[in-house]
Amino acid sequence: MSAPGVSDVPARRWQVPSALGSSLLLRTTSFGVSIGAIAVGFGVALVLITVTGASPAESVQALVDGAVGSPAATASLAAKTVPLGLVALGWIVAAQARRVNIGLEGQMIVGGVVSAAVGLSVDGLPIWIHLPLAVLAGAVGGGAYAAICALLWERRGVNEIFSALMLNIVAVQIAAWVIRGPLAEGGASFARTGELPDSARWGRVVGTYVFSWDWVVLVAAVVVVGLVLPRTTAGFRLRLVGANPEAATFAGVRTARVSVAAFVASGALAGLAGSSMILAGETYRMTDGFAAEYGYVGIVVALVAGNGALAVIPAAVFFSFLRQGGGLLEARVGVPLSIVTITTGTVIILLASASRPVERLRTRRAAAAAAGTGTSRRRSRTSGPDDAPPMADTAEPTDTIVAADPTGAGPTGTEPSETGPTGVGPTGVGPTTEQVRT
């Protein structure tokens, strides 16, 4: 490619995966950075608490009591983990293909709506048909909603950040309408749907505590995304497209199609989260604001987990802990619950800010390690995945070429493997050209 300039940029540049994708999407933040961000977030919260005149020690005590002080609280904490974890997995799946799915909130809401619709409108089915049907409906709803973004991007070159933001708000309106219109409970004093029939409910695990059997869905999703996907061709293609779309295209991967699939899968996971919030919810109904911004908090969970599927569970537990404990914080000490939102927002911003310095540090270390081989090179201004050719135009004719062998070394296989993003390691086709800099 020639010198940078206006004429270089492909007209449908939004079609290029990673046009907006950043280092945050692929590289895992280190464990230490996550802990550090959380610690600073907590510090900010404690300072604010002190400023309001409440005792920090009492506040922490209230937070802990609210989260794990009683069996009921612990069960609620565990129950919150499920949708949060599922949303975070949705982010991770899209991120592996370097797609930013900012529409998780909307996809989750639509998943919940479709799930509730199936749960409420069908009657008389046995539970082993009705419940899976309703759960599946949630996934399909979320996936279909994500497909709007993905297809608008693929067919029309619409930037999916913008379309997803628009659709998030449309989803809120859809839910508001459904609660007041088609699924409204007759004679209710405020807007809510009727109660789900027993056949569309996740059973409670212990007694009547909120924690339900839908945790099985979360564990299954973690296993699929974290353990199965890395070992399949589909997962390999996903990461290849994310790591180096140019190489993926040359390897015969239909890059655009993989990206769309990743986005839809991401939406389906968010839809599952929405379905869990209804089918295993506290009241087994849909009300206004049932999504509780989990679609955004889930992003933090994924970031704290360093985009690793297995780390999602502890990260989700932590943020459920905050949200669950925050309730008692307000009731007992009088510190507004929004302190939890403040902490969450702070952690997001800190992690985002830390991603580049961390990456720098790693790159420098890797460069030092590679100095012996003398392969350090400089990236030219316009090379790298950011400027890969438009996918829709180049993906079709190459699909007869045999896809790269997952076990074989890729074109850049001689690069030090520890510089590659986790997950792409075994293939050796990581985005090493942009990793190693002088």
Partner 1 sequence: MSPFDAAWLGASIRLAAPLVLAATGETVAERAGVINIGLEGMMISGAFAGYAIGAATGDPWLGMLGALVVGVLVGLLTALVTVVGKADQIVVGVGLNLLALGATTFLFRDLFSESAPKVGPIGRWEVPLLSDLPVVGEAVFHQSPLVYLAFLSVPVMALVVSRTNFGLSVRAAGDSPSALDTAGVRVTGVRVAATCIAGGLAATGGAFLSVGQLGMFNEDMTSGRGFLALAAVIFGRWRSTTVMIACLLFGMVDALQLRLQSLGVVPRGVWMVVVVGAVIAAVLVRPRRAGAEGMVVSGGRGAAPLLAAVLVCLAAGWAWMAQPDWTAPTQLWLALPYLLTLVALASLQNRDDSPLELGLPYSRDGSR
3 state DSSP class of 193 = strand
Taking CB under 8 A as the rule, does residue 379 contact partner 1? Answer: yes
Residue 305 near partner 1 by CB under 8 A:
no
Q: Kindly state whether residue 382 participates in binding partner 1, applying the rule CB under 8 A.
A: yes
20 binds partner 1 (CB under 8 A): yes
Tell me the closest approach of the beta carbon of residue 206 to partner 1, in angstroms.
Answer: 32
Report which of 322, 372, 415, 377 is spatially closest to residue 81, judged by C-alpha positions: 322
DSSP 8-state assignment for residue 32: H
> Which one of 4-12, 190-198, 206-214, 224-232 is the stretch in contact with partner 1 (CB under 8 A)?
4-12
Stretch that binds partner 1, among 14-22, 71-79, 197-205, 235-243 (CB under 8 A): 14-22
Spacing of C-alpha 28 from chain mean position? 14
Question: Which of 199, 176, 37, 64 minimizes the C-alpha distance to 120?
Answer: 199
Residue with tokens 């985009």: 307
As measured in angstroms, the least distance from the Cβ of 336 to partner 1 is 4
Q: Considering the rule CB under 8 A, would residue 348 count as an interface residue with partner 1?
A: yes
Give me the least distance between CB of 211 and partner 1, in Å please. 26
Q: What x-and-dash track marks residues 144-183 binding partner 1 by CB under 8 A? A: --------x--xxxxx-xxx-xxxxxx-xxx-xx--xx--
| Residue nearer to partner 1 on the CB measure, 167 or 315 | 167
- Hunting for tokens 């979320």 — which residue is that? 142
Give every CB contact of residue 285 below 8 A, 6+ residues apart in sequence.
185, 192, 193, 194, 195, 196, 278
Q: 94 to 123, contacts with partner 1 by CB under 8 A?
A: 100, 102
Return the range that interacts with partner 1 (CB under 8 A); candidates 67-75, 133-141, 289-297, 310-318: 289-297
The residue (of 14 and 236) whose beta carbon lies closer to partner 1 is 14
**Interface pattern 387-416 for partner 1 (x via CB under 8 A):** ------x-----------------------
The answer to whether residues 86 and 299 touch, using CB atoms and an 8 Å cutoff, is no
Q: Is 244 helix (H, G, I), strand (E, B) or coil?
A: coil
Residue 203 engages partner 1 in binding (rule: CB under 8 A):
no
Residue with tokens 């905050």, as numbered in its chain: 322
86 CB neighbour count, 10 Å cutoff: 36
Query: Residue 428 in contact with residue 413, Cβ under 8 Å?
Result: yes
Q: How far is the CB of 85 from partner 1 (least distance, A)?
A: 18
CA distance 427 to 409: 6
Could you say whether residue 185 binds partner 1 (CB under 8 A)? Answer: no
Q: Are 146 and 106 in contact (CB under 8 A)?
A: no
40-99 binders of partner 1 (CB under 8 A): 48, 51-52
Part of the chain binding partner 1 (CB under 8 A), chosen from 116-124, 207-215, 336-344, 410-418 = 336-344
- Give the binding range for partner 1 (CB under 8 A) out of 3-11, 237-245, 248-256, 397-405: 3-11
First-residue to last-residue Cα distance in the chain: 21
CB of 63 to partner 1, least distance (A): 15
Are 268 and 148 within 8 A, CB to CB? no
**Does 13 help bind partner 1 (rule: CB under 8 A)?**
yes
Q: Does 283 bind partner 1 (CB under 8 A)?
A: no
Query: Taking CB under 8 A as the rule, does residue 341 contact partner 1?
Result: yes
Stretch of residues binding partner 1 (CB under 8 A), selected from 69-77, 139-147, 246-254, 373-381:
373-381
Q: Tell me whether residue 27 or residue 130 sits nearer to partner 1 (CB atom).
A: 27
Contacts of residue 402, defined as CB under 8 A and 6 or more positions apart, other chains included, come to 252
Taking CB under 8 A as the binding criterion, the range among 6-14, 136-144, 185-193, 245-253 that sits at the site for partner 1 is 6-14
Nearer to partner 1, 231 or 381 (CB): 381
Smallest distance from the beta carbon of 431 to partner 1, in angstroms? 11
Choices 2-10, 61-69, 211-219, 395-403; region in contact with partner 1 by CB under 8 A = 2-10
Q: What's the gap between Cα 6 and its chain centre?
A: 34
If one asks whether residue 10 binds partner 1 (CB under 8 A), the answer comes out as: yes
- For the CB of residue 167, give the shortest distance to partner 1 in the complex, in Å: 7
**Considering only residues 16, 17, 24, 322, which one is a binding residue for partner 1 as defined by CB under 8 A?**
24
Length of the chain equals 438
Angle between helices 71-96 and 56-68 (to 10 degrees): 90
Separation in Å, CA 92 to CA 81, 83, 101, 116: 16, 14, 9, 26
Place of tokens 């869905």: 217
3-state secondary structure 129-188: HHHHHHHHHHHHHHHHHHHHHHHHHHHHCCCHHHHHHHHHHHHHHHHHHHHHCCCECCCC
**CB nearer to partner 1: pick between 122 and 165:** 165
